[in-house]
Structure 1
Amino acid sequence: MNLSSALMDNQANTMSSNTAFTYPSPQAGVDEAYDTEGGIRPHWRYLLHSLQTLGHDAIEERQKKARRILRDDGATYKIYDEPDANQSWQLNPIPLLIHSDEWSSIETALVERAELFNLLLQDIYGERNLIRRGVIPPELLFSHQGFLRPCQHIKLPGAQQLIVHGADLVRAQDGQMRVMADRTQAPSGAGYALENRTVMNRVFPSLFRDSHVHRLSLFFSRLRQRLQDLNPNGGVARIVVLTPGIYNEAYFEHAYLANYLGFQLVQGGDLSVRNGYVWMKALDGLKRVDVILRRVDDVYCDPVELKGDSRLGVPGLLEVARLGHVAIANPLGSSVLENPALLRYLPAVAQALLGRDLQMPSVKTWWCGNSDDLEYVCSNLKSLLIKPTYRRPGLYEVYGADLDDKKLQAWQNRIRKNPLQFAAQEYVAGAQTPTWHQGQIQPRASVLRTFAVASESSYAVMPGGLTRVNLDPDKKIISNQRGSVSKDTWVLASEPEKQISLRTLDMQSSTEGSSALPSRVVENLFWMGRYAERAESAMRLLRTVFIQLNKTEKLPDAVCRTLLSAVTHVTATYPGFTSLQPELFKNPEPEMITIILDSRRLGSVANNLTAMIEAAEQVKEQLSSDTQRVINDIGDELEQLKLALEPSSLSAPEEALAPLITTLLAFAGLIHESMTRGNGWHFMEMGRRLERALQIINTLRSLLATEFGEIEQETLIESSLLCSEALIPYRRRYQNGIHLEQALEMLMLNRKNPRSLIYQLNELEHHFSDLPDDREILSSEHKLLLEATTALKLSDIGALVKTHNGIRTELDQLLSRLQYLMTQVAKAIGQRYFDHTEGPQLLVKNAEWQEQL
């Protein structure tokens, strides 16, 4: 950086004087911040001095701010072996620094490595000259489950077949970088690196700006442009990001990249193969897909030719790729390059394909398929990293030094039984890097994953990447699945860098309309609206019942039973109060609290809100950051409600519900004010309006269909108005007291009341009219809605309030008919728009044969 030597020396002296906040000098090994003479490296001085100037409290506050931002962004990472662990993405506030001079040589070496792996991929699925010439043994390739014979001779447009290459780098004891592993199938981490950078830029804006950090946007601009160039079909490319779904560990990254790059996020069920092309099933018909940026492991991508029991892929996808009608990045079959045993032969491969040695060597590797290597590995297991040649869930690398003698022997037996399936590497601890932990700057070992993307003639490397460290110094393997935390990686320039926008002038903008949403997306938006409304209506009714039960005057038994039975009917939490158990009515609060908090009980508030949050997770790429923040708040309020409604602290339970109701109102308002009026918005609003209509119908039928005495009836009418936030407007409009006719008019037929029944039906009519439909006749759901609206408009309030044998027969029959019609409307919407037909599957499902695949 452009800091004077005097300033650097002054900063170094200042750090030395404050030993309580000084980064300790290394006792052994190599350190990122200290040189071999024990002095702070020049490019680290400004950062460490700035952190010292900030002090403990400020850094802690910035770390809390970073956690809030990550949480609000919905940044998560799932650890498969610990399903109950915190899934929030973890970012340490101290970045890893690399000077631009060193980065220049790293970048050159990574470009060379990406080019080599690109040539290697082409040879493996081409002529296989490396095997013919004896450079690599045939067993190395043919024994690997990532080698997919059906992918032979499939080629992408252009010279680069490997579109994105990832490399895990570690600094060895000599201070030089080594490559620990290559990621070529669907390299993850680039999106997390971008999220880390965004957060750090917000948390340390001045420090980031003054450090002259190389920006990441150009890498993603090149990625987007490269994917556009892969389009095999001409015109404006429709590019999608194929994700396994919300249960994948890196689902956040999939949604984040799709949003940032402007692509549609899809799952396998959203795509279909027809007439030799891949199509996305959208509301207004099939949309041809030209390029797929896949985040699904290759063997799961096509259940017809690859893994027959896969539900993550697209049946027939491989045949379309073979025809050249869709480009898949990275290409299917590229996981074979992730075989760690390849590193053992990489020097010879480099000589054969490039004619020279690699500038950046790999960590020393042995393959147990080689007899000499097998004996060495078995004799030295205690000091080696043991790696399976094919990564799969539940089978991870282990460090021999972490194993006792019994486990070492078990591993040796396992390796000798299947030597082709295992490799071993020299253990390299990695350089220590300054890390914020327990209120101090402490040294922790680090590894760096960075990425290269294919460009017109070669590859471009991301200036930085995803750094990972273990906060626990006793953990030797650094991996996100082992609980490591991330760091931003700053490549420091000597002067400010010109900012690069994601949208370059030569990019062609997509003209795709908002209707091009997969049916899965609109279904989740539809149910997201329904679950939110269902939870809100339940809480409004529960709050009203709490208020009535806690009045000074005791409610008549008949009114009490009607209100409590309405809770069960409206929430459908049967049998509940409909069981007529005397003890439930004597002490109703425990049952009501269960209806609120028991997430395992269908119909409960917690169950509906959990379902809503899960639906939101499925479509998080469609939601703004503010919407995501409010959804997080809903989850937080639900947790707070559990504390507020504990028996020991139970007081005024109706007040405890208010914050959660308010948050749900904020969610509804944000959707209404901020969401683009596309098909996604229409379906979310349709879900809300449909569910609100059903809730109004159920509430009125439960409370008002039975005749009571004047005082009791007035209480039930007041409760109905309270549930619908209509009591105050009612009193302003009708000043002659509470009467049933006027209440029914307000709740059923007042078109200006946004919580009336007719208002919901009119809104549904508007949404139906705005949906894509090229048919001249009305759809089935439209006909059902028209019937419901007509029946409601033709109703006579005077006739509805008349009773027969204590029942308002016409009111009950009308509401019953409307309930049936609205339920049928929901079914018709699902049948028409949410298509779940299953595509072709592999006929032969022999378990042994599948394992060989």
Structure 2
Amino acid sequence: MQRPEPPRGPPKKEPRAYSRAVTPEESRDNLFDELSPESPGDWALSWSVPADAGHRDELRDSGDPRALAPRWGRFFDHVGTDGLADLNRRAENLQRQIRDNGVTYNVYADAASGLQRPWALDLFPMIVDPREWAQIEAGVLQRARLLNGMMADLYGPQELLRRALLPTALAQGHPGYLRAMKGVTPPGNTWLHIAAFDLAHGPDGRWWVVGQRTQAPSGLGYLLENRIAIARQFPKAFAGMKVQRLAASYRALMDGIKALSPEGEDARIALLTPGPYNETYFEHAYLARYLGLTLVEGNDLTVRDQRLYLKTLKGLEPVHALIKRVDDQWLDPLELRPDSGLGVPGLLQVLRAGNLLLANAPGSAPLESSALLGFLPAISRHLLGEELELPSLATWWCGEDAALREVLPLLKGGVIKPTYPGSGLETAIGQSLNARELDEWSGRMVRHPDDYTVQSWLPLSQTPTWTGERLLPRSAMLRVFALADGPQSWRVLPGGLVRLAPRGQLMASMQRGGSSADCWVMTDGEVDTTSLLQSQPSTLALAHQKRPVTSRAAENLFWLGRYTERAENAVRLARIVLDHLGGEEPSSRALLAWLSATARENALVLDDVPGAEQAARVFARSLMASLSPAPGSPLAGQSCSVGHNLRALKGAAAQVRDRLSPEHWNLIEHAEASFAQDCAAMAADAEYGTAEALAALAALSERLAAITGAQTDRMVRDNGWRLLSVGRHIERLITLSRALSLGLEHRCMDDPTGFESVVALFDSTITFHAQYQQRRDMVALIDLLVMDRDNPRSIAWVVQTLRSRLAKLSQSATPQDAVLAQGLPDPDVWVLTELSSWQREGQTMRYSTLAELLDGCETAAAELSDEITRLHFSHADRKTRSVGV
């Protein structure tokens, strides 16, 4: 049997000959020297490095380190020798899929630069067999019941505090304890609809609970994307190993929320996000799209008469259930943090009135404290009458004198954690600290004992990952989710989010450069084939419901359209200016004056730059320097030119990313990043000239054309899209009307080159020459650029399209939109002979009628923009009412 060779795969040497330096540990633990490979599993062993000493090896059989674990043997049998030879191609396909889908994870350290990192996903899943999963499932379900009972007690009778089963400092003394929730009973007495538990697989084969998340647990969207991506890479193994699917758990969660909400099956459910700058925003948009929910931010919602409403184009629409991805303290600036811009004033009042289901109920922050784990065994015996089925790591809260004295000598073998998450204190691993550092930590703990908790150190199990040449083990932690499917009833999602620590590091954290893996849970029974995409009368998929267009989304779509059009116009104008100023043929003074005035009107240059008719070279250099100023340059703070428009376009798109296809979003990101790179390269080259700037603008023009195509052909024609189109055409009407007015003012069309430049700015050169051949007269120009309703760049076509969009909007949004169209000029009354006739004004002859029409179009477009803002975005016409009324 001939050994398969991946494209950049294992070297054609004996397994002992590594392509990198072999550590003493790897040399000592390398147990496959004498292996005679005869199967895919044997080859997998020959390519793999054993787990580090003290860590459980997920790949190998715990009873025989020379053999694969049975589940991994099955996996590689399904992959086969051909599949093993194809691993690098699959890994490349996986990374391409992640990039194409726009899967990102924002890193706090990169917030200032706006960097969004691609989601890190390894090729191989972690595999859990049915027996192990049964233990995990039973333990997680028990803990979900336990935590829900603790919440009911903390904000109810508080028996745990009276019996001293839980220290008051960890409950009422916790900064996340919400006194505003005292006495509240959520629907069905279900406090937790989504609870996450971080599990570690110990060297003894037992699964241990390391931590739990209850406020706004992340991972449900990323693990779903991981599952889809990895299942595509190994379809045969996924089907043959009977990996349990996930959709039924998501459906059960949504059904449970609807059943408990005030409106039952007719409930409107929304997902509350902090916004696009949150590190897991991709997941929020992904989940909203998958579950058919409306993705909202705090300013999308308002409280009236103790009820929650969504601001939409149609007005205020009720919201009956809210899945929050915002931590509790930010939810309501009236009763919690007054500086919060993420929440909704009066939200807790709606909750207390029983008019809203909030998942999860606010106030669970104390449950996330690592110190709580040490008290759970006794609490479980009291509340449930049961011993914990899944053990917690040994935990000491230093706020107890006895615990502090006991743990101080043990710091070298423990992990020091902050008692209150969000306190700003860091986590430290004892074995990574020297004697001086341990003494410093001990001093801090003695001075502020309540702030610190110590947890015993558990070497995480190590799962195989593919490096491109071999299988390397990496420490892994598994996050699993309990999802409520009814009143005080939960199910465990059969899978989870695996977080991998960087090679050689001890902590598995995405914020510290870690990566992720899928989790395959095998089943002995039938694989659940439920899908959220199926359409049955009794369980109509939520993804098929039409979502409303929120006022915030509408506003961002409106400005997305305006900035897209503005960027296109700026690029076209910049190219025309640089073509003339860098060309060999001299331009007329009238043309240069028009170019200067139009460039200033479109913020391509600063106002204090001498005009092109005075200093052409200075004007050109200023325009090129302003295209996309680098951060820190004197021009960086100026809201001018192409780069500013691209950044604004990207910012508006980020706010409505759940409405854009991944391809659309990728086009926007690539256009902004590539143009910034091109401009940075020009700025670094002291010899760059007009040719380089024109090349960068030409490349950007092509990308903007693709973005326009995505907006035209890839977006649903709902009211959000109509407002995007309205925004584009308002911008087009303002820009073209003003440019033609300036052309009349400077009389640049008297010159053939100026005439051609105006036609080019209207992007109508080919059409003009095909229709009028060699004519260069104003009648022909006005006919095509003003009157022609078949030319999408003519004034009449733009006005006609605006009227059509507003009429369609008024049918499904508000009748006032039809009234807005009446403020626009009516092309039906325009007469070509009147517009192309000269009128004497004093000693000069002017196209006065045309000039008045253009001024009227520009004014009408600006007023239309203001009216749309008042009507749809600010709701200024609605009566202001107190949230307490």
In structure 1, C-alpha distance between the alignment counterparts of 2:543 and 2:79, rounded to whole Å:
47
Q: CA deviation at 1:669?
A: 2.2
Q: CA deviation at 1:271?
A: 0.9
The superposition leaves residues 10-36 of structure 1 with CA deviations (integer Å, 9 ceiling, x where unpaired) of 977555568873344654421111123
In structure 2, C-alpha distance between the alignment counterparts of 1:481 and 1:223, rounded to whole Å:
28
**What one-letter code is carried by the residue in structure 1 that aligns with 2:199?**
L
Given that residues 539 and 661 in structure 1 are in contact (C-alpha distance below 8 angstroms), is that contact kept between their aligned partners in structure 2? yes
Q: What SS does the corresponding residue of 1:571 show, helix, strand or coil?
A: coil
Is 1:79 aligned to residue 118 of structure 2?
Answer: no
CA separation of 1:588/1:128 partners in 2, compared to 1, >3 Å: closer, same or farther?
same
Q: CA deviation at 1:360?
A: 0.9
**What one-letter code is carried by the residue in structure 1 that aligns with 2:860?**
L
CA separation of 1:25/1:476 partners in 2, compared to 1, >3 Å: closer, same or farther?
closer
**What one-letter code is carried by the residue in structure 1 that aligns with 2:622?**
E
Is 1:690 aligned to residue 690 of structure 2?
Answer: no
Match of 2:333 in 1: 303
Given that residues 568 and 577 in structure 1 are in contact (C-alpha distance below 8 angstroms), is that contact kept between their aligned partners in structure 2? no
- Which range is displaced more, 829-838 or 447-456? 829-838
Q: What SS does the corresponding residue of 2:198 show, helix, strand or coil?
A: strand
In structure 2, C-alpha distance between the alignment counterparts of 1:335 and 1:792, rounded to whole Å:
66
Match of 1:737 in 2: 775
Given that residues 198 and 478 in structure 2 are in contact (C-alpha distance below 8 angstroms), is that contact kept between their aligned partners in structure 1? yes
CA separation of 1:809/1:580 partners in 2, compared to 1, >3 Å: closer, same or farther?
farther
Q: What SS does the corresponding residue of 1:92 show, helix, strand or coil?
A: coil
CA separation of 1:515/1:237 partners in 2, compared to 1, >3 Å: closer, same or farther?
closer
TM-score (norm 2): 0.87
Given that residues 418 and 451 in structure 2 are in contact (C-alpha distance below 8 angstroms), is that contact kept between their aligned partners in structure 1? yes
Equivalent in 564, 574, 578 of residue 546 of structure 1: 578
Match of 2:763 in 1: 725
- Which range is displaced more, 626-635 or 687-696? 626-635
Match of 1:849 in 2: none
In structure 2, C-alpha distance between the alignment counterparts of 1:406 and 1:522, rounded to whole Å:
58
Match of 2:707 in 1: 667
**What one-letter code is carried by the residue in structure 1 that aligns with 2:836?**
G
Is 1:229 aligned to residue 259 of structure 2?
Answer: yes
Equivalent in 515, 520, 528 of residue 552 of structure 2: 520
Given that residues 90 and 485 in structure 1 are in contact (C-alpha distance below 8 angstroms), is that contact kept between their aligned partners in structure 2? yes
Q: What SS does the corresponding residue of 2:123 show, helix, strand or coil?
A: strand
In structure 1, C-alpha distance between the alignment counterparts of 2:586 and 2:760, rounded to whole Å:
19
Match of 1:847 in 2: none
Match of 1:335 in 2: 365
Q: What SS does the corresponding residue of 1:328 show, helix, strand or coil?
A: strand
Match of 1:155 in 2: 185
1:775-790 mapped onto 2 (5 Å cutoff): 781-785=820-824, 787=825
Given that residues 12 and 40 in structure 1 are in contact (C-alpha distance below 8 angstroms), is that contact kept between their aligned partners in structure 2? no
In structure 1, C-alpha distance between the alignment counterparts of 2:264 and 2:255, rounded to whole Å:
14
Is 1:625 aligned to residue 662 of structure 2?
Answer: yes
Is 1:41 aligned to residue 69 of structure 2?
Answer: yes
CA separation of 1:834/1:512 partners in 2, compared to 1, >3 Å: closer, same or farther?
farther
Is 1:266 aligned to residue 296 of structure 2?
Answer: yes
Given that residues 49 and 471 in structure 2 are in contact (C-alpha distance below 8 angstroms), is that contact kept between their aligned partners in structure 1? yes
In structure 2, C-alpha distance between the alignment counterparts of 1:393 and 1:211, rounded to whole Å:
44
Q: What SS does the corresponding residue of 1:700 show, helix, strand or coil?
A: helix
Q: CA deviation at 1:639?
A: 4.7
Match of 2:14 in 1: none
Equivalent in 856, 863, 866 of residue 824 of structure 1: 863
**What one-letter code is carried by the residue in structure 1 that aligns with 2:794?**
S
The superposition leaves residues 769-797 of structure 1 with CA deviations (integer Å, 9 ceiling, x where unpaired) of 12247877777743432x47588668822
Given that residues 97 and 489 in structure 1 are in contact (C-alpha distance below 8 angstroms), is that contact kept between their aligned partners in structure 2? yes
The superposition leaves residues 547-585 of structure 1 with CA deviations (integer Å, 9 ceiling, x where unpaired) of 3445453334553453344323233542265556955x1
Given that residues 214 and 367 in structure 2 are in contact (C-alpha distance below 8 angstroms), is that contact kept between their aligned partners in structure 1? yes
- Which range is displaced more, 820-829 or 530-539? 820-829
Identity score, percent: 33
Q: CA deviation at 1:119?
A: 1.4
1:400-799 mapped onto 2 (5 Å cutoff): 400-405=430-435, 407-437=437-467, 439-456=469-486, 458-473=489-504, 475-493=505-523, 497-502=527-532, 505=536, 506-507=538-539, 516-571=548-603, 573-575=605-607, 577-579=609-611, 583=615, 585-586=616-617, 588-598=619-629, 600=636, 601-639=638-676, 641-642=678-679, 645=682, 647=685, 651=691, 653-708=693-748, 710=750, 713-772=751-810, 781-785=820-824, 787=825, 796-799=834-837
Match of 2:58 in 1: 32
Given that residues 166 and 184 in structure 1 are in contact (C-alpha distance below 8 angstroms), is that contact kept between their aligned partners in structure 2? yes
1:289-438 mapped onto 2 (5 Å cutoff): 289-392=319-422, 394-405=424-435, 407-437=437-467
Equivalent in 62, 73, 94 of residue 66 of structure 1: 94
CA separation of 1:513/1:253 partners in 2, compared to 1, >3 Å: closer, same or farther?
closer
Q: CA deviation at 1:94?
A: 1.6
Calculate the aligned-residue CA RMSD, in Å.
3.1
In structure 1, C-alpha distance between the alignment counterparts of 2:430 and 2:833, rounded to whole Å:
80
**What one-letter code is carried by the residue in structure 2 that aligns with 1:687?**
G
Match of 2:246 in 1: 216
- Which range is displaced more, 597-606 or 451-460? 597-606
Given that residues 768 and 782 in structure 1 are in contact (C-alpha distance below 8 angstroms), is that contact kept between their aligned partners in structure 2? yes
Q: CA deviation at 1:689?
A: 0.7
Given that residues 54 and 459 in structure 2 are in contact (C-alpha distance below 8 angstroms), is that contact kept between their aligned partners in structure 1? no
Q: CA deviation at 1:384?
A: 2.0
Q: What SS does the corresponding residue of 1:664 show, helix, strand or coil?
A: helix
- Which range is displaced more, 352-361 or 775-784? 775-784
TM-score (norm 1): 0.90
Is 1:22 aligned to residue 51 of structure 2?
Answer: no
In structure 1, C-alpha distance between the alignment counterparts of 2:78 and 2:297, rounded to whole Å:
45
Given that residues 740 and 801 in structure 1 are in contact (C-alpha distance below 8 angstroms), is that contact kept between their aligned partners in structure 2? no
Q: Give ranges in structure 2 of 5+ residues lacking alignment.
A: 1-34, 631-635
Equivalent in 142, 152, 164 of residue 112 of structure 1: 142
In structure 1, C-alpha distance between the alignment counterparts of 2:817 and 2:378, rounded to whole Å:
69
- Which range is displaced more, 187-196 or 555-564? 555-564
Match of 2:284 in 1: 254
In structure 1, C-alpha distance between the alignment counterparts of 2:468 and 2:413, rounded to whole Å:
31
The superposition leaves residues 682-718 of structure 1 with CA deviations (integer Å, 9 ceiling, x where unpaired) of 11001111111112123223334322585xx211111
In structure 2, C-alpha distance between the alignment counterparts of 1:558 and 1:321, rounded to whole Å:
67
In structure 1, C-alpha distance between the alignment counterparts of 2:547 and 2:196, rounded to whole Å:
35
In structure 2, C-alpha distance between the alignment counterparts of 1:455 and 1:48, rounded to whole Å:
36
The superposition leaves residues 72-104 of structure 1 with CA deviations (integer Å, 9 ceiling, x where unpaired) of 322221221343455221111121111122212
